Amino acid sequence: MHTLMQGGETGSSRHSLLNVCAQPVLHRLSLYGELPAQLIQIISRASVRLMDSDMLISQTMHNYEAAEQLNRPSVALSQPTHDLETILERIEQDGLALHYRSFMQNFAHLFSLFLTPDQYERARASIDAGSALRFLMSDAGGPTLTSWRTVAQPEGDGFKLHIDKVWGMYANLDGMAIVAARTPGSFFPSAFLVWPEQYKTLKRTLCGEPFLGDVVQLGNVKGTVQVAQEDRLKVGGPAVLNKYLTTVRPFLVRALMAHLEWLASQGRLELTPDERASRDFIAAAARTKTLADRYESEDVHRVLALKLASNELLLHLVSRGAVASFLDQRDLLAFTKMEGSSYRCYHELRASMRVAKPEPESI
């Protein structure tokens, strides 16, 4: 288990709050190799800062250890990633803005892993006819599933889908969507395909100023559509959305690390040797993950730790003044929220660990 001591701290700080509460993150990251000392520091400070009252009240001085493994068998994954590799190379040469749309279109293809052959064929036909795929998760009711306003009520052979979604990329434009919804009686959100002709009927509004120049516009979406049973995503089981996010997050992290490289080459970002080491570690770890050809249940946490590390490096660079322009600063911070804020990642990573039985000398 990695501790702050490996980052150069003294033995007396072994049970510092900083040290202990970073363990759920550092433990997962250590699976990718030895962490650079500065990255350990960045993550440790972040972990302390991210603690809410509930976490603080339950925090003990004892080390964490991984909770019982479920030992679910890993599943083979054949990801259609050839295009993504090429795009990632281009992002490093030209920056993210120029290649963002094609990068996101490839994310949509990764969703094909979670569609039935019939759903895939229909979605493919819509995409080929020019309809881009929106992914609508963030809800106007807030982050807790029980308070979501987007609800799928069983009706007839299918569901009446009441949609009230916010902050969707390009959600203001026509297209098709995967909409996450609360389904009465289920602990997990369900996901539904909403086809272009249905999506057209929804009320869409622009949300905020765009990011990455004028490339990434967010939109809010509201309205009701009737969806069929066959439009519900079933491949991948109830945790399908989590599996999708686990698949795409390392690609996003690679894109962000490539974008940092480009910003530095343009003189828009200053990277110290230590920061570069952190960037390189995160980029290499994310690359390892995207090249994996199996999906293991443990990957959820390995990838959450990676997204948290990426978020915190971006935040560190912005907050120490390494990024000169306001717009670059705003873009980088936006990417610390998208597909997993540090708070959400940290929350889940803590929940995935348990407090180890205290060693006699540590009491």
Ligand X SMILES: Cc1cc2nc3c(=O)[nH]c(=O)nc-3n(C[C@H](O)[C@H](O)[C@H](O)COP(=O)(O)OP(=O)(O)OC[C@H]3O[C@@H](n4cnc5c(N)ncnc54)[C@H](O)[C@@H]3O)c2cc1C
Question: Which residues of this chain interact with ligand X, rule CB under 6 A?
Answer: 50, 52, 135-138, 143, 167-169, 211, 216, 218, 334, 337-338, 341, 343-344
Shortest gap between Cβ of 230 and ligand X (angstroms)? 23
Question: What is the rounded distance in angstroms from the CA atom of residue 173 to the CA atom of residue 134?
Answer: 9
Determine contact, residues 26/43, Cβ cutoff 8 Å: yes
| Amino acid identity for residue 205 in this structure | T
Q: Please identify which residue in the block is written with the tokens 């962490």.
A: 35
Comparison of 177 and 281: residue with beta carbon closer to ligand X: 177
Which residues are paired to 153 by β-bridges?
Answer: 160
Shortest gap between Cβ of 55 and ligand X (angstroms)? 8
Comparison of 32 and 51: residue with beta carbon closer to ligand X: 51
Q: Please identify which residue in the block is written with the tokens 């978020």.
A: 311
When computed from its CA atoms, the radius of gyration of the chain, rounded to whole angstroms, is 21
Shortest gap between Cβ of 326 and ligand X (angstroms)? 16
Comparison of 29 and 177: residue with beta carbon closer to ligand X: 177
Question: What is the rounded distance in angstroms from the CA atom of residue 60 to the CA atom of residue 15?
Answer: 10
Shortest gap between Cβ of 167 and ligand X (angstroms)? 4
Shortest gap between Cβ of 291 and ligand X (angstroms)? 25
Comparison of 199 and 281: residue with beta carbon closer to ligand X: 199
Comparison of 284 and 334: residue with beta carbon closer to ligand X: 334
Q: Which segments of the chain are extended strands (E)?
A: 64-66, 75-76, 133-136, 151-155, 158-169, 176-181, 190-194, 203-211, 216-228, 294-295, 353-355
